[in-house]
Chain A
Amino acid sequence: MIGFWTLFYKELLRFWKVAFQTVGAPVLTALLYLLIFGHVLDEHVQVHGVRYTTFLVPGLVMMQVLQNAFANSSSSLIQAKITGSIIFVLLPPIPYSAFFAAYVLAAVARGLMVGLGVLLATVWFTELKIVAPLWIFAFALFGGGLFAALGMIAGIWSEKFDQLAAFQNFLIMPLTMLSGVFYSIYTLPEFWQRLSHYNPVFYMIDGFRYGFFGVSDVAPEISLTVVVACFAVVFALTLSLLKRGWKLRA
């Protein structure tokens, strides 16, 4: 267990030492989204019976939880691979399950920290209430865990930074931006509404938002089932790749 705790602590320390970049920057980005979209749309748009700015905040929080969980595990692994320092975690007797847990939990911790930062920075601009905190926590945890595990796969698969950037720009970014962070899917044409139901991130955002408003596009029980099922699949896939030493132990 000491090996696991050390790797977990090392991963926490790694992003905390550059917190200005890993926590501060995404909080600022989310704040800018809120100020710009809020300024333009707040007077004109209401969603689920609340002002647009209020509707937007939970989506921004969850989007940053997911993107930063992904960024943490993927960037840590690819940096270690490219610099060669990955050898320091491959030589010791750390079981692959502990390796997985340390990377995922540290990435989730960064996601939650950024999410909390976004919430604290944006809460002054809205009248946000928390209706069901357990739902908020559950979606943040499983959503963050899913993206952290995806980040591990991306970090292990990528051999160059541009491959990781492609993963991020062509998969993660579209999935999060087209998930209903900035809108309710019921404002979309029917085709896009249907398509949105195939996007697992939609369920994460929608379920997370339910915790704030008690209203959502899909019942939170269904959303959580989808998110947990996706997490279980990616969890099993990542563990199996680590067990085989895929791209780490040739």
Chain B
Amino acid sequence: MVAAVSIIDVVKHFGSLKALAGVSLEIEQGGFFGLLGPNGAGKTTLISSLAGLLRPDSGSLKVMGHDVVKDFREARRLLGVVPQELVFDPFFNVRETLRIQSGYFGIRKNDDWIDEILENLDLTSKAEVNMRRLSGGMKRRVLVAQALVHKPPVIVLDEPTAGVDVELRQGLWQFVRRLNGEGHTIILTTHYLEEAEALCGRIALMKQGRVIALDTTANLMAAHPGGTLEDVFVRTMNQ
């Protein structure tokens, strides 16, 4: 079976800064994968490269076997990304935003699925509300909804619970777990290590543009008996 995501020796510089220093990893289909690391480790650069927002200097990235540069149309169709920044288009309401996003992915009549997403993210009552009038947590939910409108088999969540309340976190993880159970591959970056520990089957730890540990969550934890993922994280980063 082709890997959901295949990353081979990806290098990316920003001027003299080496943001990615030869990253390689493979994520199997249907997995729940955690990409962890301190700020500046290269997680968002790697995700942006996967999404085609950045062009790596060398190496290759594939989504479900499709190269993100040479076969970008198919690769982007198969990927849904929840960005880290809380961004929105202030001209539209929630439903318009989701309809427009569906259209960008070539889907014209998508209201049934949009209604389902709205319901699962507890946004139904906000469907006709302008994006400007939503709270930060609500805007975050809409970002998640936008990433899901085209039912991508691979979903990247870049710190999706940063600055959101407990209720939303629980609702969001319930929904994401359901998607994962239905076969969607989930890639998660987060600074909440207890969330990663609870959700992710495999984890990569990144530091200074490199993957310094890559294993199943169970194996990583077994190497540090009695500890939490946070302990594993701290010890690995300090090695």
Contacts and interface: CB of A to CB of B under 8 A. Distances in A.
B100 interface: yes
A83 B88 contact: yes
B76 interface: yes
A91 B76 contact: yes
Nearest to A95: B73
Q: Is the interface of A mostly helix, strand, loop or mixed?
A: helix
Nearest to A10: B100
A84 interface: yes
A91 B80 CA distance: 8
8 contacts: A10-B103, A83-B90, A88-B89, A90-B52, A92-B76, A93-B106, A250-B53, A250-B55
Interface in B71-113: 72-74, 76-77, 79, 81, 83, 85, 87-92, 96, 100-108
A214 interface: no
B114 to A, nearest CB: 14
A3 B104 contact: yes
B54 interface: yes
Nearest to A92: B104
Contacts of B88: 83, 85
A61 interface: no
Contacts, number: 80
A241 interface: no
B146 interface: yes
A83 B132 CA distance: 12
Contacts of A17: 91
Interface string A1-28: 0110111011001100110000000000
Interface string B63-76: 00000000011101
A22 to B, nearest CB: 11
Contact of B72 (A5, A9, A93): A93
B46 interface: no
Contact of A87 (B53, B74, B76, B105): B53
A5 B85 contact: no
Nearest to A2: B106
Interface residues of A, number: 27
A48 B88 CA distance: 52
Contacts of B14: 250
B77 A93 contact: yes
B53 A249 contact: yes
Contacts of A90: 52-53
B51 interface: yes
A6 B104 contact: yes
Q: Which 6 A-B pairs have the closest CB atoms?
A: A6-B103, A84-B87, A92-B104, A93-B73, A93-B76, A2-B106
Contacts of B89: 80, 83, 85, 88
A18 B52 CA distance: 32
A94 interface: yes
Given A2-B103, A87-B81, A93-B73, 8 more contacts: A6-B104, A13-B91, A13-B96, A84-B85, A84-B87, A85-B88, A92-B104, A249-B52
A94 B107 CA distance: 12
Contacts of A18: 91
A108 B54 CA distance: 30
B77 A91 contact: no
A17 B93 CA distance: 12
A93 B74 contact: yes
Contacts of B107: 2
Nearest to A84: B87
Interface in B198-224: none
Contacts of A80: 89
A164 to B, nearest CB: 18
A249 B55 contact: yes
Most chain A beta-carbon contacts within 10 A, residue among B55, B81, B91: B91
A249 B54 contact: yes
A132 interface: no
A89 interface: yes
Interface string A141-176: 000000000000000000000000000000000000
Interface string A200-221: 0000000000000000000000
